[in-house]
Amino acid sequence: MDVSASAKPAAQPFASGMLKGRVAVMTGSTSGIGLGIAAALAAQGADVLLNGFGDPTEIDRLRSSLADAHGVRLSYSAADMAKPEEIDGMIPQAANDLGSVDILVNNAGIQHTALVREVPLERWNAILAINLTAAFCAIRAVLPRMESRGWGRVINIASTHGLVASTHKAAYVAAKHGVLGLTKVVALEMATTGVTCNAICPGWVLTPLVQKQIDDIAAREGISGDAARARLLGEKQPSLEFATPEQIGALAAFLCSDAAAHIRGAALAVDGGWTAQ
């Protein structure tokens, strides 16, 4: 028997414009990793709903810049990820503005560093609400739409702190471990459908959130910003370099490709060797 003759066609390679006609909802996408992913998906032809806080004029500039650069449509939602009712409203807005919801990237997140015994309960609750519960609410809202269309991609931006722990980050580590558990459950429940769910686990990426940690180290230890940056990388990331939002965006775009159709429930580390140690 000629096996090659009966085999299914090979998955199409990662091709330019592969997401044309798709619509992506991107939480926490007005800066940093989220904006890098939004740009990568737009570059592949996806229409994108941005979400996040920021200066309205700057957000309008971002929308126009991405739309003009890639010939796609950009919408915006100011939904607060700490408020489930606003998340529930964001998904229909994307469908109304852009026509559907094919891709969901849960990226919104906040951080607080302190010893466990010093973490205020309100900060614990806020971190779990935005880093974990918001992802659950958005996923719950999009799955019926994706199932009805027979195709969907859910990408949760977790962290190396979803795989390993560090001191002073109890709420963040707990939330990101929860994100990986949620990712696996959604992947299993969608396993026989055209909907996939995976997580990306970045190590140190130079974003405003990480810059604040660098600034905190510099202030706490009385050292320069460059020294604090080197201290942060040297403690965890063997490459001694930051990953970039563009690299995270490229991986997210790959997970939306046909070649990634059987990557389900994965936690993909982009961490310069952090979790290889």
The residues assigned a catalytic role are 172
Rounded distance between C-alpha atoms, residue 158 and residue 142, angstroms: 19
Rounded distance between C-alpha atoms, residue 28 and residue 79, angstroms: 10
Q: Name every residue whose Cβ is closer than 8 Å to that of residue 229 and which is 6 or more positions away in sequence.
A: 214
Cα 173 to Cα 117, 130, 140, 163, 167, distances in angstroms: 15, 13, 23, 9, 9
CA 153 from chain centre, in angstroms, equals 12
Q: Three-state secondary structure along 45-100? A: CCEEEEECCCCHHHHHHHHHHHHHHHCCCEEEECCCCCCHHHHHHHHHHHHHHHCC
Buried b / exposed e over 219-252, threshold 16 CB at 10 Å, is eeeeeeeeebbeebbeebbeeeebbbbebbbbbb
